Amino acid sequence: MNKSQNNFSQPEGKKHSMERLLIEASYIINSDLELDSLLKNVLKILTKYLNAEASAMLLLDVSSGRSEFFVFSANQDLVSKSKSSKDDKGIIAMVTEKKKPMLIKKFTPGGHLKSIVDQKLGISARNLIAIPIKHKNEFLGVIEVVNKKDADNFDADDLEIMKALGEQIAIAIDNANLIQQARRKTREAQNLYVVGKLMAGKLELEELLELIVKRVSRLVKVDVATIYIVDPDDHSIKEIVSKGVPKHFQSKLTLKIGQGICGLVAKTGQSIVLNDVTENKQYISLRPQTKSEIAVPLKSQGKVIGVFNVEADKKNAYTKDDLRLMKTFANHAAVSIERALLYRRTIEQKALEEELAIARRIQKTFLPKRSPQIPGFDIDGINIPSEVVGGDYYDFINIVNNQLGIAIGDVSGKGIGAALIMASFRASLKAEIRNNFAIRTIFAKVNSLLYESIERENYVTAVYGVLDIKNHVFTFSNAGHNPPLLFKSDGEVIELQEGGIALGMFANSLYEERPLYIENGDILLFYTDGVTEAINKEGQEFGLNRLKNLVEDNRKSSAKDIINNITNTVFKFKDTEKPLDDLTMILIKCL
């Protein structure tokens, strides 16, 4: 930008020049979605368009609460990057605190206000503009330009240009941050997918934990990783697997409960994050290089059964996202331990037909390959996930002659996490069914296992029942699920509500069961909330009445045709080919 570009002789010329500048700057800024590269371009654009000697930016990392500096010198054509600290002071610190722009036309030599350019590049500031970067009321950082080249001072016009550019910059930074977050979540999902897939073939505890450590190391900064298991006999935690532990500790480390950070986590059951291990007296130093640490508990059966620990060789290495991811993998590790132990106890009874899985390709094996062919009944089912993997489940289980088990379930949430929980539910349900317990007892035992192995915000709604084919009696229990509908031949509709609350919410939930007589001409429909809670463009729900009317209007059709009719009508109602929630149904006609 030359001097004439910034000295507008007429208001209209000034407006047009501003528009041209913003269009050009917007094109350059929004053409780069890699954050570091974007920030370098931003500083160069600011320096160019405001004809400044140098520019600087303080960018806040929202996930960690920390920040870093980027500075640019027009003379050297150089961008440098450095971490900020509590000791950094000056103009940027003041704008960060007050969240208001500053225009300083003349610095007082030796004054207390300093530019970050002066601190980082040694360029003495004569004049300066600094503004906060905000987007959607969220503070992202501060940018400043220093030393006007073509005039004595920056003026109000320069400040307006700076503000306008700041709005463009804020949008671009927000977009780049969103892309980084999306890429991280994709990497996490891919690794969770692989973990679930590999765990399906690994039943040995040590192999499972080594796999988890390996996968965590791909997503979180890890110089040392250790998984401990609690030994209740001697009140200690013992290292099972490790990575990066010094050779003189390779004999496997043992700590007393309450000793060190990991021992404290085992004692309290609470995660610990240390951004500087030297500030915590509880920390036991095994290697001098360690500066940061995360330790999370592994929980099962209401007790801490182990600790998952990672360490890094730099301070402030871990963020809230890292802690969340560690907790996710820790939960999977606890589930893996539970599954391995359950498998060993019940292998002779073949209680577990398949191991934990998260891919839809594997999850499909959890669903019936075909509907049962039973004289006197017409039975069909369908499952359409909203994502590659889903949290809905249905099954037909041959128990003994003339008895068919029927199950349908729905996990809170969707995607990979829901699919993992549903895999756990299915394995637990089948294991208890093979023990020939009463239906109410089966649900009580499955509830206890889920309560100990999933996060408190998660739960499973389900209906399980047994159809006595010979006597036409269906005995069921409903754990907080959408009530199945029994359409009687005389037009009465009965909602099957008896049972209890959703599974996994409370430790000692009790359930009841109820038998129903199924007559010729009756229809029994099971469904998940993806059917009745489907929403159209006007915000209306599909609702229970539409579902009831559909079944009544098509009751002479086959079970398969009725289900297809419901599915097509729901999709047409939403005007979409892909459900926003998993959609699952079972329909039984008594002929």
Residues in the chain: 591
Q: Where does 269-366 have alpha helices with state H?
A: 320-346, 360-363
**Residue (of 77, 74, 70) closest to 147 by Cα position:** 74
Cα-based angle 565, 566, 571 (whole degrees, multiple of 5):
100
Distance, in Å, from the CA atom of 373 to the CA atom of 29, rounded to the nearest integer, reads 63
Q: What is the pLDDT of residue 561?
A: 95
Compute mean pLDDT per 10 residues along the chain, 591 residues long, and list them: 40 54 65 68 77 78 57 54 54 73 73 63 77 79 82 80 78 74 69 60 68 77 85 82 71 83 91 89 85 89 83 86 82 68 48 40 74 94 74 88 92 75 87 86 93 88 95 95 95 94 92 95 94 89 93 94 94 75 91 89
Q: Where are the domains of the chain?
A: 3-180, 204-343, 360-590
Q: How far, in Å, are 250, 325, 353, 356, 446 from residue 200 at the CA level?
A: 29, 21, 10, 5, 20
CATH T-level topology, domain 360-590: Phosphatase 2c; domain 1 (3.60.40)
Q: What is the pLDDT of residue 523?
A: 96
Q: What is the pLDDT of residue 342?
A: 59
Q: What is the pLDDT of residue 353?
A: 36
CATH T-level topology, domain 3-180: Beta-Lactamase (3.30.450)
Q: What is the pLDDT of residue 168?
A: 76
Q: How far, in Å, are 229, 351, 362, 501 from residue 355 at the CA level?
A: 22, 11, 10, 27
CATH T-level topology, domain 204-343: Beta-Lactamase (3.30.450)
Q: What is the pLDDT of residue 228?
A: 86
Q: Where does 413-500 have alpha helices with state H?
A: 416-433, 439-453
Q: Is the pTM of the predicted complex or chain greater than 0.75? A: no
Distance, in Å, from the CA atom of 142 to the CA atom of 128, rounded to the nearest integer, reads 13
Distance, in Å, from the CA atom of 498 to the CA atom of 513, rounded to the nearest integer, reads 6
Q: How many CB atoms lie within 10 A of CB 301?
A: 13
**Residue (of 351, 365, 10) closest to 197 by Cα position:** 365
The three-class DSSP label of residue 305 is strand
**Residue (of 534, 529, 524, 466) closest to 495 by Cα position:** 524
CATH topology identical between 3-180 and 204-343: yes
- Find tokens 């062919």 and name the residue: 373
Q: What is the pLDDT of residue 58?
A: 75
Please state at what angle helix 11-30 crosses helix 35-49, rounded to 10 degrees: 160
Q: 377 — phi, psi (to 5°)?
A: -135, 150
Cα-based angle 226, 224, 424 (whole degrees, multiple of 5):
40
